[in-house]
Amino acid sequence: SQTIHQWPATLVQPVGSPLSLECTVEGTSNPNLYWYRQAAGRGLQLLFYSVGIGQISSEVPQNLSASRPQDRQFILSSKKLLLSDSGFYLCAWKGTRDPWGTDTQYFGPGTRLTVL
């Protein structure tokens, strides 16, 4: 079966510090990968998606960047965090071919980021 991991689960960082959040998927290959952010009291907003190694598309201009160094690894980074970067970050994967199905995104447990 497929599983998706995110770490860390919780992170408190000072303004201006760097950030690295990691997401890994097991049990599938060549997935589409997504980073979403959920601000307090809001729905999810897509930040980045990737259809393959080294292929990153950004949905929203911001202080963050993403990378995909391996097929099943997706990293969200920042060189200098802002207060507005606080939120709940969710990684998701979607299959691109059978038998994993190609219609549904499955989410990881998320990372709660607080920038002080």
Binding site for other proteins (CB under 8 A): 32, 34, 36, 38, 42-46, 49, 57, 59, 88, 90, 92, 94, 96, 102-110, 112
Contact between residue 20 and residue 75 where contact means Cβ atoms under 8 Å apart: yes
Nearer to other proteins, 13 or 32 (CB): 32
**Enclosing H/E stretch for 51:** strand 44-52
At its nearest, how many Å lie between other proteins and the CB of residue 76?
Answer: 16
Nearer to other proteins, 49 or 72 (CB): 49
What's the CA gap between 88 and 2, in Å, rounded? Answer: 22
At its nearest, how many Å lie between other proteins and the CB of residue 27?
Answer: 16
At its nearest, how many Å lie between other proteins and the CB of residue 22?
Answer: 17
DSSP helix/strand/coil, 108: coil
Q: Which of 33, 37, 96, 44 is nearest to 67 (CA)?
A: 33
